[in-house]
Amino acid sequence: MTVGDVFGRTIQLFLVDGKPTGLRKATIHGWTGLLFVSGASAFGDLTARDEVDRTGVYILSGPDPVTPGMTRVYIGSGNSVAERIKQSGVKRDFWETAITVTTSDDDLSKGHAEYLEARLIQVTAQAGRVTLDNGTQPDFQRRRLPEADVANMEQFLANLRIILPVIGLDMLKPQPKAVSTQASSSSPTISNEVQFEIRHKSGVAAMAVEEDGEFVVLEGSEALTGTGYVQQSYGGLKEKLITDGVLVPHDGPSSSGKLRFVKPWSFSSPSAAAAVVLDRNSNGRLEWKVKGASLNYHEWQQAQAVTQEK
């Protein structure tokens, strides 16, 4: 391998009671960080672990009761994570998943844990992928750690960026470039990217790009509304976008029955994006076409796979 190559990582996921819905233990090979994950039914098993009765941080996550379709997260720390997460869990009723982060050699100090807690809250707030239940945002710079300890904790945080998505919590991942730059189809940041479009017989037009596994509908794209179709999968998501002001009534010519994206929005899949644009459940792999070509998203993806094999 050459300089700049990305090396793979080995993540070990152990089902403590042999059940995928029970207590899980997650580690990265060669790292002392130790995570336990549980739902409400296995919470007692989680807090009973000796490894959790150590200094570290914890996360409670679940559906946001205020904003449909969003995840709400609380981040905390303590000298005994087991005791602190029990106290926090009683105070909050939104959570469905509990995550503890300690170390296999119990070498985190109170200062380390408070630094990690503050940095986790800061990075999560910057990413904007979840709703933070924390009332305040601690200043990590006030955690006066030696320079070497700060470097170690930043590496610890880098490993959490890797392992948290694997256990189902993608709260630290930065927004796609097309979202963070308020990009439209003509923006310099994405003008060289492969763009996809929907140009429907209704006259609605939408543009999108794919970035790091996410499908981003660009600012200025249109979406139908009031079609009468029943959206079983994404109706709630569309209502959220309207409530949040991402989709607003179109004020242009021939705009009756249309909404407009006033900022880019990242969707989990082409089908989710197509459903919101066309106001009905849709197969986005067929509805989205490569801009200026006859290939649909599925055909383009197949062509990319063949190219990579050569």
Question: In what side-by-side order are the strands of the sheet with 247-249?
Answer: 222-224, 258-261, 247-249
Q: Flag the least confident range among 32-41, 67-76, 171-180, 192-201.
A: 171-180
Q: Flag the least confident range among 168-177, 217-226, 274-283.
A: 168-177
Q: Is 66 helix (H, G, I), strand (E, B) or coil?
A: coil
pLDDT given for residue 3 in this prediction: 45
Max mean pLDDT among 61-70, 156-165, 227-236, 261-270 falls in 156-165
**Beta pairing, strands 71-78 & 131-132:** parallel
Q: Please name every residue paired with 197 in a beta bridge, in sequence order, or none if there are none.
A: 207, 289
pLDDT given for residue 100 in this prediction: 98
Q: Phi, psi at residue 92, to the nearest 5°?
A: -125, 135
For residues 91 and 120, the answer to whether their CB atoms sit within 8 Å is no
Q: Where are the alpha helices (DSSP H) in the chain?
A: 43-47, 81-91, 110-127, 147-166, 177-180, 235-243, 270-278, 284-287, 297-309
Q: Is 14 helix (H, G, I), strand (E, B) or coil?
A: strand
Closest C-alpha to 153, from 125, 196, 183, 119: 119
Average pLDDT on 199-205 reads 88
Share of the chain above pLDDT 90, in %: 62
Q: In terms of pLDDT, which residue wins out, 167 or 236?
A: 167
Contacts of 43 (CB under 8 A, 6+ apart): 89, 98
pLDDT given for residue 1 in this prediction: 44
Q: Is the pLDDT of residue 179 over 90?
A: no
Average pLDDT on 214-237 reads 84
For 30-77, write each residue's pLDDT tens digit.
999 999 999 999 999 999 999 999 999 999 999 998 876 789 999 999
Q: Is the pLDDT of residue 188 over 90?
A: no
Amino acid at position 258, single letter? K
Give the pTM: 0.76
pLDDT given for residue 212 in this prediction: 81
Q: Where are the domains of the chain?
A: 11-166, 177-309
- Tokens representing 137 are 């945002």
Tell me the pLDDT band of 231, cut-offs 50, 70 and 90.
Answer: low
Q: Please name every residue paired with 13 in a beta bridge, in sequence order, or none if there are none.
A: 26
Average pLDDT score, the chain: 88
Q: Is 163 helix (H, G, I), strand (E, B) or coil?
A: helix
